[in-house]
Amino acid sequence: MKKNILIYGLIAGALVSGFMLYTMNNLSHCEGSVDYNTSMFIGYASMLIAFCLVFVGIRNYRNNYNGGIITFGKSFKIGIMIVLIASTIYVVSWLIDYYWFIPDFAEKYSANMLNEMRNSGATADEIQKQSQELESMSTILNNPFLNALVTYTEILPIGLVVTVISSLILKRKSSN
């Protein structure tokens, strides 16, 4: 079971991290050819694609190592472990990218958000309020521990939902 979890967790982590690093460094942040909303959509879609491996990992364990049966609890445990490995790889990749390659991300993101508000006709009060929220977020991102926590909150809920759905679909009790 451990080998199964490790293999699928590492592959899912590599996929989601690869998508994130590519979109951040080539599409949205550094090159600027894709807006942040599109980049965010690509990021969340890549999480769903990578977490398809949760389903595959649970099914592989059930069919090849467990005689074709698995309980919801066992499949949930396998799925959540795959998600935790993949999420940790994603978080570490983000922290390395953020601190060493795009340390100006928070500033550029904030400037982009405020510019979008101005262009959409937001009031000065709305812009000021958003500016304060973005400043708070920048402070959080500059703390590695808080940055990691925020990053986990991006990816873990998606993995949890995929794990629950996969576990419900794949659970199979013995025929006795």
Compute the distance between CA of residue 35 and CA of residue 28 in angstroms, rounded to an integer: 6
Q: Inform me whether the pLDDT recorded for 175 exceeds 70.
A: no
Q: Do the domain assignments include residue 70?
A: yes
Give 106 or 93, the one with higher predicted confidence.
93
Mean pLDDT, all residues of the chain = 90
Structure tokens at 25: 């460094």
Q: Inform me whether the pLDDT recorded for 40 exceeds 60.
A: yes
Q: Do the domain assignments include residue 175?
A: no
Query: What's the whole-number mean pLDDT along residues 135-158?
Result: 94
Cβ within 8 Å of residue 93, ≥6 positions away = 17, 20, 21
Q: Do the domain assignments include residue 118?
A: no
Q: Do the domain assignments include residue 65?
A: yes
pLDDT at position 51 is 96
How many domains is the chain partitioned into structurally?
1
Q: Do the domain assignments include residue 47?
A: yes
Q: Inform me whether the pLDDT recorded for 176 exceeds 60.
A: no
Compute the distance between CA of residue 118 and CA of residue 60 in angstroms, rounded to an integer: 51
Query: What's the whole-number mean pLDDT along residues 101-116?
Result: 85
Could you tell me if 87 and 171 are in contact, meaning their C-beta atoms sit under 8 angstroms apart? no
pLDDT at position 103 is 87
The residue type found at 29 is H
pLDDT at position 31 is 59
What is the per-residue pLDDT across 120-146, written as a single tens digit (0 to 9) for each? Answer: 888 889 889 989 998 988 899 999 999
Query: What's the whole-number mean pLDDT along residues 100-124?
Result: 86
CA 42 to chain centre: 11
Q: Do the domain assignments include residue 114?
A: no
pLDDT at position 98 is 92
pLDDT band at 56 (very low <50, low <70, confident <90, very high): very high
> What pTM was computed for the model?
0.88
Structure tokens at 83: 């998600």
Could you tell me if 83 and 156 are in contact, meaning their C-beta atoms sit under 8 angstroms apart? yes
What is the per-residue pLDDT across 80-96, written as a single tens digit (0 to 9) for each? Answer: 999 999 999 999 999 99
pLDDT band at 114 (very low <50, low <70, confident <90, very high): confident
Q: Do the domain assignments include residue 129?
A: no
Q: Inform me whether the pLDDT recorded for 23 exceeds 90.
A: no
Q: What's the alpha-carbon Rg for the chain, to the nearest Å?
A: 19
Q: Do the domain assignments include residue 71?
A: yes
pLDDT at position 33 is 62
Q: Show the domain range for 82.
A: 2-102+152-170
